[in-house]
Structure 1
């Protein structure tokens, strides 16, 4: 017999709140209180704890998994969003990779889709700080996998901080693939300073750099400027990108290609 939601402990309830919000995108505190049969005060305590853990963020009257200009979504939420577009970008990106290359990929869920395709192009050297990519490629015999160390960040499921930056700076790779959370006015942006530091180091460590962004990230901004789009040898976007954004890229002289979904 299933347990009544109101009788479940706080840890289990918070897991279920998190799962619900990651699936729906957001929820009001009142709806959550009714759903779990507890008081609003209890729900707000749960929300405070989930925000402290970096799983979700509060807004007036509720909680959300969606990004803002200063908050990046939890990796579990990002994995569920824009899957078709990310797969299309990955299919386009993998055509640039040749056997024998060294390839660096960041901790984005967009480049994770590229990582799924890399075993078909062996031998390769792959460098990453993303734990999910490390686990994905760890047993691929044709791939020399180099894991970038640092401080583990559960929100991003990756290794960051000064040790990671220093590990990147000791390398030189043929290709680097990164994504970011927003693009506006000829620049790529990200919400978090420690993420920006690692991505910038990756761009400096590569002979060629590719930015992979789906259309939902275009026309939005975030707190920290990562790099001008002209710093990338190629920008990959999907075919749902609005015409005015394409005109802006044309006017700014950014080299881009469109991936069909």
Structure 2
């Protein structure tokens, strides 16, 4: 016999709330209360707990998985968003890599799509702090895989912190591919300091740097300035990028290419 939703414990209910919001993008507290057969006050307590864990973000009257200037979406939500654009960016990025290179990739879901293509280019040395990328490439005989350790962060499914930064600083690679939460003006931004620290170290450790960013992250901002766009040798954007944003990139003098979806 199936268990009545109102009789489920708070841990199970919060997991189901999280799964529902990650799928739908957002939900109101009243809709969640009706869906799970509990009071709105109970739902608000669940929402508070999920926000404290960094899984979801509150807004007036409900909860969302979508990012803000100070909140980066859960990796599970980010993996589902902008998939065609990310795949197009990855295909373009893969043409920049030659067999025998050393490549560093960050923990972004955009660059994860590039990781899926790397076995076609082997032999390669691949360095990453992203657990999913490590699992994806671990069985590839032509990939020399180097894991960047540190404090495991389940919300990003990656390793961060001082140990990770120090591990990056001990290396020098041919190319580094990263994405970030936003680009505004002449700078790239991100919501979280711990992510910024690792990405900055990665960019300093590479001979060439490539930013892969879909149109939804352009002309918006986040809390922490990551780096000037001039840090990147190439910026890859998708073909849904508005013309005015491309003009802004032209005015910034950065080198960019458009990936066709």
TM-score normalised over the length of structure 2 = 0.99
1:101-180 to 2 correspondences below 5 Å: 101-180=101-180
Shift in Å at residue 10 of structure 1? Answer: 1.4
* Superposed displacement of residue 61, structure 1: 1.3
Where 1:96 maps in the other structure, the secondary structure is: coil
Whole-Å separation in 2 of the counterparts to 1:248 and 1:61: 36
Distance in 2, matches of 1:203 and 1:97, equals 17
In structure 1, list runs of 5 or more residues that go unmatched.
Answer: none
SS at 2:95 equivalent: helix
Residue 54 (structure 1) shift: 1.2
**What TM-score, normalized to structure 1?**
0.99
Q: In the TM superposition, what is the alpha-carbon distance from 1:142 to its structure 2 partner?
A: 0.6
For residue 216 of structure 2, what is the aligned residue in structure 1?
Answer: 216
Asked if residue 199 in structure 1 is aligned to residue 192 in structure 2, the reply is no
Secondary structure of 1:144's match? strand
Counterpart position of 2:251: 251
Separation in structure 2 between the aligned mates of residue 47 and residue 231 of structure 1, nearest angstrom: 39
Deviations 1:111-166 (A, max 9, x none): 00000000011110000000000010011111000000001111111000000000
Q: Which runs of 4+ in 1 moved over 3 A?
A: none
Question: Equivalent residue of 1:2, what SS?
Answer: coil
Q: Which residue of 2 aligns with 1:36?
A: 36
- Give, in whole Å, the separation in 1 of the partners of 2:116 and 2:188: 25
Aligned to 2:55: 55
Cα distance in 1 for partners of 2:251, 2:38 equals 55
Give the equivalent residue in structure 1 for 2:64.
64
1:11 matched to 2:11: yes
Post-superposition shift, 1:3?
A: 2.3
Q: CA deviation at 1:41?
A: 1.4
How many aligned positions are there? Answer: 261
What is the alpha-carbon distance in structure 2 between the residues aligned to residue 210 and residue 250 of structure 1?
17
Q: Which residue of 1 aligns with 2:80?
A: 80
Partner Cα distance (1:11, 1:136) in 2: 30
Q: Are 2:22 and 1:22 aligned?
A: yes
